[in-house]
Amino acid sequence: MGRVIAIANQKGGVGKTTTSINLAACLAEAGKKVLLIDCDPQGNATSGLGIDKDHLENTIYELLVDECGIRQAMRAVDGAENLTVLPSNVNLAGAEVELLELDEKEYILRNAVDYIRDDYDYILIDCPPSLNILTVNAMTTADSVLVPIQCEYYALEGMSQLIHTIELVQERLNPDLTMDGVVFTMYDARTNLSADVVASVRENLNTKIYNTIIPRNIRLAEAPSHGLPIHLYDSRSSGAESYRNLAREVIERKDI
């Protein structure tokens, strides 16, 4: 059965989407069958994989409001064998309110994903920058939550709320959910700040921390405007190497 990982942090700009796209792409490059679910109305994971998000007949929105089935909304990614996307666009912003009126509103995504879970080795969910009903749907669908932390001031801000939300979902909605761990992003080896942030998080957070640290790499920032994951945009960049290493760590993990 596929392992479902929600990539979440209610702070914006910490590297959720960059990690979702490139971890998914590197898992696929390693031969795994991967589905990336874009659960953010900004649709950055969708456009970052070269899909024209504003001209889609079916997206995660139509799926959640029961206007299409999950397979009808899924799209192959050009040039990336083994990688499929469930796309999103701004329509999803409206779903938040619409979902609140539905029965079992916390389980709508999970019920849809159950149809295709066995077809994939990994299903990654790129979460929106908030702790709303969409994030709750991602967490009820997921086996674990992976938290990207940007190597910046206030890296730990909001972390206790996020952990509290994960615990609430565990208690009330999805007892099987676990904390996958933390991955540091945008590490700048030239500054003390990045090293200080890593040290402080290691001291203060009692959770798995991936050995792979994602460096700040301009190629990672450029790739989405070309609609390409990093291994297709610049296969030998430090960004590509680091996401390959992260994929390897995820594959080799035995404890969850």
User: Which residue's CB is nearer to ligand ADP, number 137 or number 150?
Assistant: 150
Phi, psi dihedral angles at 132 (to 5 degrees): -105, -170
Among 16, 32, 216, 231, binds Mg ion (CB under 5 A): 16
By CB atoms closer than 10 A (0-12, 13-18, 19+), residue 153 is exposed
Query: Of these partners, ligand ADP, Mg ion, none, which one is at the site of residue 13 (CB under 5 to 8 Å by kind)?
Result: ligand ADP
User: Which residue's CB is nearer to ligand ADP, number 44 or number 46?
Assistant: 44
In angstroms, give the least distance from the CB of 44 to Mg ion. Answer: 5
User: Which residue's CB is nearer to ligand ADP, number 77 or number 127?
Assistant: 127
**Cα–Cα distances in angstroms (integers) from residue 242 to residues 107, 139, 182, 227, in the given order:** 34, 26, 15, 19
Q: Give me the residues that bind ligand ADP (CB under 6 A), please.
A: 12-18, 44, 129, 185-186, 214, 216-217, 220-221
In angstroms, give the least distance from the CB of 16 to ligand ADP. Answer: 3
Query: What separation, in Å, do the N-terminal and C-terminal C-alpha atoms of the chain show?
Result: 13
Residues 223, 229, 235, 237: what is their CA dihedral angle, to the nearest 10 degrees?
50
Render 40-83 in DSSP notation, one character per residue. -TT-HHHHTTT--GGG-S--HHHHHTTSS-HHHH-EE-TT-TTE
In angstroms, give the least distance from the CB of 121 to ligand ADP. Answer: 23
User: Which residue's CB is nearer to ligand ADP, number 44 or number 59?
Assistant: 44
User: Which residue's CB is nearer to ligand ADP, number 17 or number 84?
Assistant: 17
User: Which residue's CB is nearer to Mg ion, number 44 or number 141?
Assistant: 44
Q: CA-to-CA distance for 22 and 140, rounded, in angstroms?
A: 23
Nearest CA to 126 among 23, 7, 4? 7
Query: Of these partners, Mg ion, ligand ADP, none, which one is at the site of residue 15 (CB under 5 to 8 Å by kind)?
Result: ligand ADP
The DSSP call for residue 216 is: P
Q: Is 53 an interacting residue with respect to Mg ion (CB under 5 A)?
A: no
Q: Is 17 an interacting residue with respect to Mg ion (CB under 5 A)?
A: yes
Please count the residues of this chain forming the interface with Mg ion, following the rule CB under 5 A: 3
Binding site for Mg ion (CB under 5 A): 16-17, 44
